[in-house]
Amino acid sequence: MKRALVIASLATLAASPAFAASFTATAQPLTVLGDVPVRCRMSPPQASDGGANTTFSQNGASGEIDFTNFVDANTGKLNASGAHIAFPITCTGAQTLTVTTQNGGLTNTNVAGASNGFAARADYTLEASWASTTRSLQTGGSTASLDLSQTTPQSGQLVLNFTLIQGDQPLEAGSYDDAIVVQLNTAQ
């Protein structure tokens, strides 16, 4: 009887290593992971319907609005003019989007400032719409920005409505320009 017990114990010990990780039931998980980063893409601008007295030309990722009849030839005052420009944008997450006027109005590049009843700056209103958000500004001679940032992914068009403000003063002769800068960044 004693010998039989010894034999049984040895058998148990010998069997154990073969089932070192043995179990009666087990669940073994396998997890697949991945992180999709926030990506934003802005395509080159394109003219939208509804412009007046302007032409638009695309230049790579940028564009240019030119006035076909900037001022009345007899009065020197601004003609009613406007442009609608669209930027196709897609962002897979939160994004910051700003639209900035660099000069705060179309500024005469040939003269320093207004003189003798003539204006040297043509102001305009700029309305920007993106993802159900609309912001607008009116230029006044200094840099100004519109913030259209969103916390959610978006895909659509940033639409800029540009309208000259017809003032009472005639404009001095010269070239007038401004730059409207659209800046898009991921926010996460």
Closest distance between another protein and the C-beta of residue 183, in Å?
19
Of 2-10, 46-54, 118-126, 167-175, the segment contacting another protein by CB under 8 A is 2-10
How, if at all, do strands 154-164 and 144-147 pair? unpaired
How many whole angstroms separate alpha carbon 78 and alpha carbon 75? 9
Of 25-33, 67-75, 97-105, 115-123, the segment contacting another protein by CB under 8 A is 25-33
| 39-to-50, 64, 132, 169 alpha-carbon distances in Å | 31, 27, 20, 47
Residue 35 or 168 with smaller CB distance to another protein? 35
Contacts of another protein in 87-146 (CB under 8 A): 90, 92-93
How many whole angstroms separate alpha carbon 117 and alpha carbon 170? 8
Read off the amino acid at residue 106.
Answer: L
13 contacts another protein (rule: CB under 8 A): no
38 contacts another protein (rule: CB under 8 A): yes
Residue 8 or 112 with smaller CB distance to another protein? 8
184 contacts another protein (rule: CB under 8 A): no
Q: Are 128 and 158 within 8 A, CB to CB?
A: yes
Q: Are 125 and 138 within 8 A, CB to CB?
A: yes
Q: Which residues bind another protein (CB under 8 A)?
A: 1, 3-4, 7-8, 11, 15, 18-39, 90, 92-93, 152-155, 188
